[in-house]
Structure 1
Amino acid sequence: MKNISQVLNWLSSLKIAILLLLLIAMSCAVGTLIPQQESDQFYYDNFDKNPFLGIINGNILLLLEFNHIYTSFWFLLLLSWLGLALAVCSLRRQLPILKSALSWIDYKSPRQIAKLSISQTIQTDSPSKNLEKLTLNLKKTGWNIRETDGRIAARQGVIGRLGPILIHLGMILLMIGATYGSLNGITIEKFLAPGRSIDLLNNNEEKGLTIKLEKFQIERDPQGRAEQYRSIVKIIEPDGYNEEKEISVNYPLRYKGLTLYQADWSLAAITIQIKNSPKLQIPLKAIPDLGEQVYGTIIPTKKDGNDPILLTVESELGPVKIYDSDGTILTALGRNKEAEVKDTLIKIINIIPSSGLLLKRDPGVPLVYTSFAIILLGGSLSIISTKKIWVLHEKEKSLIYIGGLSNRNLSGLSKELPKLVSFLVN
């Protein structure tokens, strides 16, 4: 039993809890710096040449599970350890403190009151009458009273002792909810052009919700930089019910446990016309070698597929730059503009942007939000100071002894006590 007690004391020690919090905070910082949930090849390509912190290459990074820190064994172990430490601390320390605060302590001798943090002795000719005044005054000011044979015990703010327990409970629920969401949540990132849709499967691997992009708009500043992205999406249920909603950056859509974020944008396709041909919609691909947000496609100018040209574009507003096979720029065309390129008439009809949508289903969100509410409530209650006052009198000496203590804001109680004493004097 002694060994078990020592282990529990060690688990619930403040030093261990602070160390665990520091380790978890450092792990979260590393998870922010290192991209998560990428392919193994991504980490080899990016960290073999430039190791993280100068020593952690791709192999070590994968071995330490830095590619999925928040679901790694060691991170979950840290969370479990901290949760256990908080639970043990609440059971072994906070609950006894709450139980002690709820129990009435009866001080029967002046010596006991004199040992309190604040104490006062008052000479009075009518102790019984003054005790009645004091009792009424304490009740009016919100104190809970218990009288025993001319002795008074009063307390206020006992509910504040519940605050630390609620904070511990909220933190444990927060870790459980976050862990459950990380292990069982689903994240899908998809680029959709207007008119396109994505089908989601339900738990039975059957078709569930359908998300269709109706309209996508990029708002730009006078310099042409993207400021805001807006998507009009239609949510379609399997039974045919549907509704349209607008989402934008920082204004996601929440629907039946699914959260839909406006995350990014790209260019999906370009519509062109070659001579008298029908309108051709040609997909665009990102060309990182030419720039961060440069999209392009290669098309031939001859019927036999020879003599190709490269079309590139950086925004849905254009212009479309046309390059020769040797990299020489031939011309630049805006929308609804045409030019003859290598004896071929090319007209730019339209540039179609696509909306980058991020879909998340996190089953741990209800627990996380509940934990936030509990932590806020516990923090608010922890501000409340628990105050206790004891009063007794000696008929033989016509003396009244009054004393009190408080777990915090002792100076406030010391200022409040003279007001109570003034009633006794008068």
Structure 2
Amino acid sequence: MKEVKCECGHINPIGTVLCESCGNPIAAKEKNSSKLLDMRYDGSARRSQTYNKTIVDKVWNFFSSVKVGVWLIVITLLASSLGTIFPQERFIPPGASASTYYEEQYGSFGKLYYTLGFHDLYNSWWFLALVASIGISLVICSLDRVIPLYRALKNQGVIKKEGFMRRQRLFSETDKTLNQHTYEGIKKAMKQKRYRVREENGHILAEKGRFSRWGPYVNHIGLIIFLIGSMLRFVPGMYVDETLWVREGETAPIPGTDGQYFLKNNAFSI
């Protein structure tokens, strides 16, 4: 797909709504419109809103949807809550067979619970698939929005077109001419309020709190790390969770040590 060239001469990525250099609307429908401009990414297009032809594009667009991510989380939470109705297989009495225990203790509902695999929910392949889908959704959602945001902040220009300014949510203008003293006073006042001030050919751009625009994606990184940690339990050798029952006075070999290590339960009374 071809890139888009603005009237100012700047080359913009395909799908860009506003020129990354001058902020002037590029698309014909945007030039003739009077509605407010979408300033979430300063006019930079997200990949999911631009490409929709190949299978990869369709998979990307599916997982980049916030609604899909929310539904995946809701389904996973519902499945997790169902896994707490009855004890998981590792918590049933030692020696009991899971295939018969749930039916004997909880009747037909217990049998259905076992048949659907809820007795070992957190180790089941489909629960792992749900967790992995949430992780994939978080990664794609973040990349789909982080890239245009980074591009918009990196290429943000100082000089903006009049049409761009008029289509902002807050806009005002005056016919007074600023002298050099007032101009310098404005810059000084902005800097005192900790604005990052940039100027070019008599134009001023002041901004602060830029890092706050990255806030949601910092949270996403934390969630992704959390999900990776949860999924490591399915990697052989990364997670060990076995139960060894030893009666008072007995000694039993520790599983997986080939009889080299033993655990003894010394009986005592107070």
For the aligned pair, the TM-score class normalised by the smaller chain equals 0.5 to 0.7
Once residues 48 and 201 of structure 1 are traced to their aligned partners in structure 2, the CA distance between those partners, rounded to angstroms, is 29
Corresponding position of 1:300: none
Q: Counterpart of 1:45?
A: 101
In structure 2, C-alpha distance between the alignment counterparts of 1:121 and 1:75, rounded to whole Å: 58
- Between the aligned partners of 1:203 and 1:49, the Cα distance in structure 2 is 35
Does 2:53 align with 1:2? yes
- Report which of the two has the higher share of helix: 2
Higher relative contact order by CA 8 Å / sep ≥ 6: 1 or 2? 1
Aligned with 2:118 (options 66, 75, 84): 66
Q: Do the aligned partners of 2:247 and 2:265 also contact (CA within 8 Å) in 1? A: no
Conservation of the 8 A alpha-carbon contact between 1:107 and 1:113: no
How many percent identity over aligned positions? Answer: 21
Residue 120 of structure 1 aligns to a residue whose secondary structure is coil
SS at match of 2:89: coil
Give distance in 1, aligned partners of 2:250 and 2:182.
83
Where structure 2 has 5 or more consecutive residues not aligned to the other structure, the ranges are: 1-51
Q: Are the aligned partners of 1:102 and 1:158 in contact in 2 as well (CA < 8 Å)?
A: no
On the 8 A contact 1:35/1:67 being kept in 2, the answer is yes
Paired residue for 1:81?
133
Q: Is the 8 A contact 2:253 2:259 kept in 1?
A: no
- Runs of 4+ residues deviating >4 angstroms: 188-208, 210-213
Encode CA deviations 1:273-320: one digit per residue, 9 max, x unaligned: xxxxxxxxxxxxxxxxxxxxxxxxxxxxxxxxxxxxxxxxxxxxxxxx
Report how far residue 202 of structure 1 moved: 8.7
Aligned partners of 1:70 and 1:182 also within 8 Å: no
CA distance in 2, matches of 1:92, 1:66: 35
**Hey, what's the Cα distance between the residues in 1 that align with 2:257 and 2:228?**
22
Q: Is the 8 A contact 2:195 2:208 kept in 1?
A: yes
**Structure number, greater radius of gyration:** 1
State the AA in 2 paired with 1:187: D
Per-residue CA deviation, residues 23-61 of structure 1 (Å, 9 max, x unaligned), is 11011111222211336724523335634xxx6443x43
**TM-score for both structures, normalised by structure 2:** 0.65
Output the TM-score relative to the length of structure 1.
0.43
Higher share of residues assigned strand: 1
Give 1:187's aligned residue: 241
Residue segments in structure 1 that go unaligned for 5+ positions in a row: 214-267, 270-351, 354-426
Aligned equivalents of 1:17, 1:185: Cα separation in 2: 27
Q: CA deviation at 1:68?
A: 1.4
Deviation at 1:150, TM superposition (A): 0.2
Q: What per-residue deviation string (whole Å, max 9, x for no partner) do you get for residues 341-388 of structure 1?
A: xxxxxxxxxxx37xxxxxxxxxxxxxxxxxxxxxxxxxxxxxxxxxxx
Distance 2:88 2:65 in 1: 33
Residues 85-100 of structure 1: pairs in structure 2 closer than 5 A: 85-100=137-152
